[in-house]
Amino acid sequence: MTDEPALMSLAHGGGCGCKIAPGVLSELLAKMPGLPVPPDLLIGTASSDDAAVYRLNDSQALVATTDFFMPVVNDPYDFGRIAATNALSDVYAMGGRPILALALLGMPIAKLSTNTIGRILEGGAAACAAAGIPVAGGHSIDSVEPIYGLVALGLVHPDRVRANTGARPGDLLILGKPLGTGVMSAALKKGLLDAGGYARMIDTTTRLNTPGPDLAVLDGVHALTDVTGFGLAGHALELARGAGCRAVLDWGAVPVMDGVRALLAAGCATGASGRNWQSYGTSVLLPDGFAEDDRALLTDPQTSGGLLVSTAPDTAEAVLEIFARHGFEAARRIGRIEAADGAAPGVALT
């Protein structure tokens, strides 16, 4: 096939920025009919968690999730790696270890060559191989826009499931990866991302969140989630609401990838960051004079973002040591959990 279009040109959005806005998603889920919930379904739709968890026996629970999106980069192999890494992250975020994956593929067959599509699948398989699991099957369709992702399955001990509802007042918040992937993807689409920036983006988005199972073994780790399409503020808000508490973020401590602030100044904020703010901004308290670019970064959709950990203070150093052992040098303490004291759960920045 000659004159093949760039992947990103075929999609109206990319990566986790394609997610339906949180407010709209809440409306859609509210209209779902009530269904029987078996006692072995430990985590379902009630808590907006990262994956479903079903108890198989006294020592094993199945973690089941799916994630797919449109291209966040133009290189097909990198797109496949990023999408697969992002999908597997939800298993790690529950404290589980992946066991197998199924591929989900939708491609505009008339516009993309079989070689390009094959490279996407190769990239996804490479990410699964890095996680030590097979791609055991899947499903494909001819679609208008290119879409790729996985159904990911994993196992976890039922007593070691780490939901996004377990945060406690007094906990510290630790973030495993720096922010900025949404901004970098927007810059790439505009032709403003240099080779160094692209390398940093690929490094973070293809880094498997392998600390998850080791973190879940720590009794002091009370809640886990991963920061993806709703941005740091949105996923911190989910932790706060799940626990009926307030998440207080120390904005100056939040890690940000090199070059991202300059890209924001150049106009590379994503449309999804604005949609995120419209959905949940009334639950986020910003300091006076908080810059517009900072707000865009706070709500920037993270594709294959980092784990957000709510941990007892005396376990915080062990959490950081686990991140370091897995190669997450950017992991930082970024805030704390406080009692809501009668107010609605929310997020506050200092």
pLDDT, one tens digit per residue, over 83-124 is 999 999 999 999 999 999 999 999 999 999 999 999 999 999
What pLDDT is attached to residue 308?
98
The whole-angstrom separation of Cα 117 and Cα 291 is 41
Q: Is 50 flagged in the annotation as binding? A: yes
pLDDT, one tens digit per residue, over 48-93 is 788 999 999 999 999 999 999 999 999 999 999 999 999 999 999 9
Q: Is 49 flagged in the annotation as binding? A: yes
Query: Per the structure block, which two tokens stand in for 274?
Result: 């604005």
Q: Is 294 flagged in the annotation as binding? A: no
Q: Is 90 flagged in the annotation as binding? A: yes
Bridge partners, residue 311, by sequence: 172, 221
Cα radius of gyration (the chain): 19
Q: Is 226 flagged in the annotation as binding? A: yes
What pLDDT is attached to residue 23?
60
Q: With 90 as the cut, is the pLDDT of residue 21 above it?
A: no
Model pTM score: 0.93
* Closest alpha carbon to 74 in 170, 5, 176: 5
Is 16 marked active-site?
A: yes
Answer for the pair 186, 270: CB distance below 8 angstroms, yes or no: yes
What pLDDT is attached to residue 217?
97
